[in-house]
Amino acid sequence: MNKKRIVKLCCFGLVFLLFLGGVSAFLQVNSFADGLRIKGFYLEPENSLDVVTIGASETYTAIAPGMLWDEYGFTSYDFSTAGSPIAIVKSQVKEVLKHQKPKLIVIELNGALQKNDSYQTDENRLRKYIDNMPWSENKVETISELIPKEEQINYFVPFLKYHSNWQSWDTCLANLYVQSRMYLEGGSGLKGFQTYSDKTMASSEVLDVANDRTTLSLTDMSEYYLRDLLQYLKDEKIDNVLFIRIPHRITKKTYPVYQRANEAEKIIKEYGFSYVDFETQKEAIGLDMTEDFYNDHHMNLYGQEKFTKYFGKYLVEHYGLNESEHSETVVKAWDRAAGETDECLSYTRKMLEKKKKATINEGWKELKKYDLDFSTDKSK
């Protein structure tokens, strides 16, 4: 085979791989909002974030980074996905520290508190994070550690998983459109937060747990991954970490989750890390169990505003985050994010007043303009 033919074959192979990569990226949509939330993190300027929050859906529905900037002057990002298991948090911390030097990493515990070990291995939950990570040594290690060997090829070659998404080309196109807008605007306008224009009554009587310290054991796998995370943090001397539990409406059905949180608190303190249980501070926060929740697991717009302000004040008082300094470019970007957050919350408030239910996330501008529905997976 002559050199010219070899060069042609190599060029064809390269073009084919680039084409396949482009098609794969277009079709790779497993959760619209989660994908944008993870990808948006990597658009943040290096070492520009003071706080990064990691957790599941109650994290990004409780904390509005734009509001924290407007009220207290520190930057933050909701680096979370719906139904996120504790198994992926170590990988997320590694990603954070590759790109940022935050004063504080906040980890919400929901992913360690579920009743079945299958929560840690559920493909849908794992993919929301793993599929949206950029390729790196950490991504390869994450796949190798968490995914059964026979299934790993579908993570290394996503086209094998998502090739049939051409049937949902409109969703793929919407994802590409919002993602492109986000890139052109220089990053995420909402910094990962999401809210709901809805409120509901509690599914049953809401329990008062302010003085309740009873415990329930974690599942074997949940405890393993929690301890593995804590040992990693300790070994790497990563001590700027705060573990929290965000408020929920606790009912008889969800009470065991609260008891597991109390058990997790003991384990966390065993390793010398800080933990704050905001479940026991609902009265101080001013939360209304009827008006401030979308469902038993998530706060709506009203609850989010109350909690964000309370949480921000706590971080200022205990971690001195109001002393943050940033470049003029970063300040301008965050002033824009605060303005967009305020516009988004005003839009959500109007939707609530009209009793029009919607999931409000990074695609809210398109939702408003074209009356679209960019709902996301609400799995716990």
- Give 205-233 pLDDT, tens digit per residue: 899 898 899 999 999 999 999 999 999 99
pLDDT band of 377, cuts 50, 70, 90: very low
- Residue from 164, 142, 145, 149 nearest 98 by CA: 142
Give the model's pLDDT for residue 30. Answer: 54
Q: Which two tokens stand for residue 182?
A: 């986000």
The yes-or-no verdict on residue 78 having pLDDT over 70 is: yes
Query: Does 27-370 carry CATH code 3.40.50.1110?
Result: yes
User: What are the tens digits of pLDDT across the range 317-347?
Assistant: 999 988 788 999 999 999 999 999 999 899 8
The count of other CB atoms within 10 Å of the CB of residue 216 is: 15
Among the listed ranges 36-40, 76-80, 99-103, 270-274, which one has the minimum average pLDDT value?
36-40
What confidence score (pLDDT) does residue 179 get? 72
CB 333 within 8 A of CB 62: no
Of 109-118, 215-224, 288-297, 305-314, the range with the lowest mean pLDDT is 288-297
User: Can you tell me the mean pLDDT for 130-150?
Assistant: 94
pLDDT value at residue 10: 63
Whether residue 172 has pLDDT greater than 70? no
Helices 123-130 and 137-146 pack at an angle, to 10 degrees, of 170
Give the lowest-confidence range in 23-37, 136-150, 279-293: 23-37
pLDDT at 35: 85
Rg (CA), the chain: 21
Question: Average of pLDDT values for 83-93?
Answer: 97
Mean pLDDT of 119-124: 93
Give me the pLDDT at residue 261, please. 97
pLDDT at 155 over 80: yes
Q: Domain extents for the chain?
A: 27-370
Task: Report yes or no: 27 and 159 within 8 Å, Cβ to Cβ.
Answer: yes
Strand 195-196 with 359-360, pairing: antiparallel
Q: Which of 117-121, 341-345, 374-378 reaches the highest mean pLDDT?
A: 117-121
| In the predicted structure, residue 14 carries a pLDDT above the cut 60 | no
Provide the mean pLDDT of the chain.
Answer: 86
**pLDDT score for 336:** 93
Model pLDDT, residue 163: 44
Query: Which among 228, 246, 244 has a CA at the least distance from the CA of 236?
Result: 228
pTM of the predicted structure, to 2 decimals: 0.87
* pLDDT for position 166: 45
Residue 11 has a pLDDT of 63
pLDDT, position 204: 78
Q: What is residue 118's predicted lDDT score, i.e. its pLDDT? A: 95
